[in-house]
Amino acid sequence: MAAKFLSRGPLDPQDAKWTKLVLSTYKDPNGVERTWESAERQTRPDNCEIDGVGIVTILNKESGPELLLQKQYRPPIDKVVIEVPAGLIDPNETVEQCAVRELKEETGYVGVAEQTSSVMYNDPGFCNTNLNMVHVRVDMSLPENQNPKPELEENEFIECFSVPLATLFEEMKKLEQQGYAIDARVGTIAEGIELARRFKL
């Protein structure tokens, strides 16, 4: 059964538990005082500069490397979105610990964090949300990765799949035509692969 959108309305900040709007005041490079509206999560732990992680996991299939992806219904856009596994950081957790934990919870795979990207800001003219992309290596020969079982929370509905890196760009186009939404982090990885191929990097 699919999720079903019912309604959307204004949210009073008094009632907001997860999100907030803020107004920043700054002097521009000419010394003129200006303001800027933006949105933030309320969930970032104290003394932490990061909201969450995205997880890049490559499954080495016989036919070639595949990127681990998931389909998840996202109420803010009322669409099922094609995303990398991801999650918010718990207090006192490193981004690498978060990535390994979330990968296990959302996909069932047990992996090892092997590379962490720059901090990336999702839409820094609009909000402060950010993440580290963590590359997690999954050894498909291990017994625990033979038949991975996600451990989803009761409000999580996630379907895992994987797409060959070599055809990621075309597959995203096809999935969009089928009605799925494409997360920008996945879509721009696909763009990068296409650029590398076009310019033979």
User: Binding to its own copies (CB under 8 A): which residues in 65-94?
Assistant: 65, 67, 73-79, 81, 83, 86
Name every residue whose Cβ is closer than 8 Å to that of residue 2 and which is 6 or more positions away in sequence.
Answer: 73, 80
Phi, psi of 52 (to 5 degrees): -165, -165
Handedness of CA 124, 186, 182, 156 (dihedral sign): negative
Nearer to its own copies, 144 or 197 (CB): 197
Handedness of CA 83, 65, 171, 194 (dihedral sign): positive
Nearest-angstrom CA–CA distance, 1 and 10? 28
* Residue numbers 144-173 binding its own copies by CB under 8 A: 155, 157, 165-166, 172-173
Smallest gap from residue 146 Cβ to its own copies (A)? 23
Tell me if 9 contacts its own copies by CB under 8 A. yes
Tell me if 116 contacts its own copies by CB under 8 A. no
Out of 71, 94, 101, 122, the residue judged to bind its own copies by CB under 8 A = 122
Nearer to its own copies, 90 or 144 (CB): 90
* Residue numbers 33-72 binding its own copies by CB under 8 A: 33-34, 36-41, 56, 58, 64-65, 67
Residue 170: enclosing H or E segment and its boundaries?
helix 168-177
Nearest-angstrom CA–CA distance, 130 and 36? 18
Out of 114, 139, 144, 176, the residue judged to bind its own copies by CB under 8 A = 176
Listed ranges 96-104, 136-144, 145-153, 177-185: which one lies at the site for its own copies (CB under 8 A) = 177-185
Smallest gap from residue 117 Cβ to its own copies (A)? 6
Tell me if 106 contacts its own copies by CB under 8 A. no
Nearest-angstrom CA–CA distance, 180 and 171? 11
* Residue numbers 126-145 binding its own copies by CB under 8 A: 126-131, 133
Smallest gap from residue 164 Cβ to its own copies (A)? 9
Give whole-number Cα distances, 182 to 14, 63, 77, 187, in Å.
Answer: 32, 24, 11, 6
3-state secondary structure of 90: coil
